Amino acid sequence: MTNEQLRFDFVPAQLAINAMRDNGYKNGAYALAELIDNSIQAGANTVEVLCLESEVQLAQRRRSRVDELAVLDNGSGMDEQTLRAALQFGNGSHLKDRSGIGRFGMGLPSSSISQCKRVDVWSWQEGPDKALYTYLDLNEIAQGIITEVPKPITKAVDLKYREIGASFGSKGTLVVWTQMDRMQWKTGQAILDNSEFLIGRMYRRFISNGDISIRLATFKDGGTKPIIDKSAQANDPMYLMPSTSTPSPFDNTPMFQTFGENQGIKHVISFNEAEHEIIIRFSYATTEARKLGPGGQVPGRLPHGRHAANNVGVSIIRAGRELELNQSWSREEQTERWLGIEVEFPPSLDEVFGVSNNKQTARYFDYIDISELADQRGLKESVTELKEVLSEEQDPRGPLIEISETITKNIIQMRRLIEAQTRGTRTRRHDDPGTAEARGTKAVRDRQLEGLKGDSDADENLPEDERKAELAKELENTAGLDPQAAKELAARTIDQGLKFTYESAQLETPAFFSVRSKAGELLITLNTAHPAYEQLFQLLDLDEKGLPEEDGAEVKERLSKASTSFKLLIESWARFEDEQTDGIGKERIQDMRSDWGRIARQFLRPF
């Protein structure tokens, strides 16, 4: 070839295709989801995933291997131009559509070549006998045999697919993968088992609402009778849907209950000169789900507990379809499995969330450490100020700070509810004279008898109902507790005559705890944004979460004493502040607490 005949394309086709094969699909189930997205976008109400396997001779023995995988739908079908464009990378019919699942124009070709070397497509609008057909073949592209998507021809759908497919109608599309060199699961059983859990979760709303039915079937050695034939069940990580894949007894009964408002918490984000709504929903396990099983088995080891362990994280929903379970908020699987968090946003916010073109992640959406970001910029821990600075820096996390803060605030309160369920009868009640709250209260009473008064003491003379209502309102507003939980905690505290109440929240202060007086109580808030919370408070509180017996009674007793002692130290500081009747003196003490927390944060940071 002469110099004049050499081609210097910006992106040589073969190199580009090979690079696109490594396009980031987590596994074959995510790649299949792209095809299901296309089916839903085309108005299908039935999708079939069909595995065709046969016996092959391996080194020592014969094994079953899937050699063809087909996805059939009864959607609207495609005309010649649409079909050809659908196999182009970055093209498609929904590039500007911000109302549905699709948009990026990468799904069909990109997902297919991530798993196989050849994809054949039939699509019809006048019955499968008059289908339009075209294909992509990576070997032919590498050899230069084809340099563009082959022009579709009229070709009837192969008889073998029409014999095994149940949803052939006047309109539809069939996509077939062969030469599957990158599918990690080799048998129909493995492909369908691994795909069902994920597909059931991603499309749970469509399945639960009856908008779509997804058939999963495997056929062997050219047979027309399936060896596996089932419909994907909804897999709800919020565990609020009535009929799901959750093991009995929660397959037809919700395993979780709503936390907070049923409709969720709404946030409005301004973007592209318009306002867009984001909805955050929360749920947590029912008491029934947390009961011990036969022989005293902990619920986490029961089938429904193991199911929940595979659904840990914040479910990110775009256009009714889950993108991913984000685990950046997760701290401890034993607790997190019993929590559900769902964030829903419209496709119009794709750029804000950083949605990848394979619709697997929202790159900009993660847990945001407000304290760390503020420190890096020399700011006070103000969400408003930090948002302004991030906006000036064009940091994509700016619009999502409030979303992250809302999740953090509520997840902390749900963890407390779960921990309370875990305690059950295994730990002492708060009115037990040995608890930190009870011992601290006794110390306060002794000081009162000595004539030492605090600012909070006067409110102890208010009517109990008034005190309970006031304390419940404070817990609801500042700690993010739902009204019922706040009411129960306030009533228990006052009925038991306790002086101290604990809560956890992300505080806009460097202090690792705060103190305030309400309804005659000293309300201590542990700052979850401070490293002391995770490295000290949570560690010392392990005894209250119920350590398994094999960890030893002596270890549990030591943790219990350490936890109680540390709480008493905090309570002594709280009472010290409370007894400062001079306003200026009290402010100085509060400033000292903040300064101490700021220095402690530096000392506690990991190397």
At 427 the pLDDT is 38
Outline where DSSP puts E strands in 346-473: none
| Of residues 9 and 453, more confidently modeled | 453
Last residue of a domain, one of 197, 214, 231: 231
Q: What is the DSSP letter of 330?
A: -
In the numeric block, the tokens 């000290």 are attached to 536
Number of helices (H), then strands (E), belonging to the chain: the values are 22, 17
Which pLDDT band holds residue 20 (cuts at 50, 70, 90)? confident
At 436 the pLDDT is 87
State yes or no: pLDDT of 564 exceeds 90. no
| Of residues 460 and 487, more confidently modeled | 460
In this structure, the answer to whether residues 18 and 139 fall within a common structural domain is yes
In the numeric block, the tokens 């999502």 are attached to 400
Tell me the backbone φ, ψ of residue 191, rounded to 5 degrees.
Answer: -60, -45
- What is the pLDDT averaged over residues 592-601? 92
Q: Is residue 421 part of a domain?
A: no
- Extract the tokens encoding 110: 């990109």
Radius of gyration of the chain (CA): 30
Q: Is residue 189 part of a domain?
A: yes
Residue 184 has a CB neighbour count (10 Å cut-off) of: 12
State yes or no: pLDDT of 14 exceeds 80. no
Can you name the residues that pair with 172 across neighbouring β-strands? 124
State yes or no: pLDDT of 420 exceeds 70. no
For the whole model, what pTM was predicted? 0.70
Residues in the chain: 607
DSSP secondary structure string for all residues of 23-84:
S---SHHHHHHHHHHHHHHTT-SEEEEEEEEEEEE-SSSEEEEEEEEEEEE-S----HHHHH
State yes or no: pLDDT of 63 exceeds 70. yes
State yes or no: pLDDT of 230 exceeds 90. yes
Which pLDDT band holds residue 522 (cuts at 50, 70, 90)? very high
In this structure, the answer to whether residues 136 and 277 fall within a common structural domain is no
Per-residue pLDDT of 101-136, as tens digits, reads: 554 445 799 999 999 999 999 999 999 999 999 999
Which pLDDT band holds residue 8 (cuts at 50, 70, 90)? low
In this structure, the answer to whether residues 433 and 392 fall within a common structural domain is no
- What is the pLDDT averaged over residues 87-99? 60
State yes or no: pLDDT of 93 exceeds 80. no
| Total number of domains constituting the chain | 3
In this structure, the answer to whether residues 548 and 517 fall within a common structural domain is yes
Q: Is residue 7 part of a domain?
A: no
Pairing of β 274-285 and β 256-259 = antiparallel
Outline where DSSP puts E strands in 262-407: 265-271, 274-285, 314-318, 321-326, 339-345
3-state secondary structure of 119: strand
> Residue 97 belongs to what H/E stretch?
none
In this structure, the answer to whether residues 215 and 284 fall within a common structural domain is no
In this structure, the answer to whether residues 222 and 286 fall within a common structural domain is no
Q: Which of 191-200, 307-316, 384-393, 434-443 has the lowest mean pLDDT?
A: 384-393
- What is the pLDDT averaged over residues 499-514? 86
Q: Considering only CA atoms, which of 596, 548, 545 is closest in space to residue 573?
A: 596
In this structure, the answer to whether residues 93 and 166 fall within a common structural domain is yes
Q: Is residue 584 part of a domain?
A: yes
Q: Is residue 39 part of a domain?
A: yes
Q: Is residue 556 part of a domain?
A: yes
- Helical H runs in 424-550? 436-449, 464-479, 483-495, 531-532, 538-540, 542-545
In this structure, the answer to whether residues 452 and 350 fall within a common structural domain is no
- Helix 583-604 crosses helix 553-578 at what angle (to 10 degrees)? 150
State yes or no: pLDDT of 168 exceeds 50. yes
3-state secondary structure of 214: strand
In this structure, the answer to whether residues 441 and 316 fall within a common structural domain is no
Q: Is residue 240 part of a domain?
A: no
- What is the pLDDT averaged over residues 561-565? 86
- What is the pLDDT averaged over residues 127-155? 93
In this structure, the answer to whether residues 143 and 225 fall within a common structural domain is yes
- What is the pLDDT averaged over residues 133-146? 92
Which pLDDT band holds residue 549 (cuts at 50, 70, 90)? very low
Mean pLDDT of the chain: 85
Residue 239 has a CB neighbour count (10 Å cut-off) of: 26
3-state secondary structure of 483: helix
- How far is residue 537's CA from residue 521's CA, in Å, rounded to a whole number? 21
> Do 89 and 106 touch, CB atoms closer than 8 A?
yes
Q: Is residue 6 part of a domain?
A: no
In the numeric block, the tokens 């798993």 are attached to 115
In this structure, the answer to whether residues 301 and 174 fall within a common structural domain is no
- How far is residue 82's CA from residue 87's CA, in Å, rounded to a whole number? 9
Tell me the backbone φ, ψ of residue 65, rounded to 5 degrees.
Answer: -140, 140
Q: What is the DSSP letter of 11?
A: S
State yes or no: cis peptide before 249, omega within 30 of 0.
yes
Name the residue range of residue 358's domain: 256-411
| Of residues 496 and 241, more confidently modeled | 241
The amino acid at residue 371 is: S
State yes or no: pLDDT of 481 exceeds 50. yes
In this structure, the answer to whether residues 116 and 141 fall within a common structural domain is yes
Q: What is the CATH number of the domain that holds 24?
A: 3.30.565.10
